[in-house]
């Protein structure tokens, strides 16, 4: 699922999901139920673009991509900055 974010401010994303299923109990095998839920995610855009990662193992690789799917690489002048 891809959700476009607002250029500034917050973006509110609401998801509604449901799944029909049957009971595992043999006494209720003929009955069905539907689980439903509504979830709201609020994305706050930050003016800062600083992020840090703590990974295990220490030699793990983190890749960061821009909105177009292009991998970001550090500059020679600032190897810790993307």
pLDDT tens digits for range 22-45? 888 888 888 999 999 999 988 887
Over pLDDT 90: what percentage of the chain? 18
Q: Please state the pTM of the whole predicted model.
A: 0.41
Instruction: Decide if 30 contacts 38 (C-beta within 8 A).
Output: no
Alpha helices in the chain (DSSP H): none
Bridge partners, 36 (sequence order): 18
pLDDT tens digits for range 44-58? 877 666 777 778 888
Q: What are 46's two structure tokens?
A: 């930050």
């Amino acid at each position: 699922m891809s959700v476009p974010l607002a250029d500034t401010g917050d973006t509110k994303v609401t998801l509604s999901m449901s799944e029909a299923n049957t009971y595992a109990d043999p006494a209720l095998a003929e009955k069905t139920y539907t689980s439903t839920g509504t979830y709201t995610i609020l994305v706050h855009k930050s003016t800062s673009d600083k992020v840090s990662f703590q990974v295990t193992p220490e030699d793990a690789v983190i890749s960061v991509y821009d909105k177009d799917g292009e991998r970001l690489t550090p500059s020679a002048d600032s190897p810790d900055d993307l």
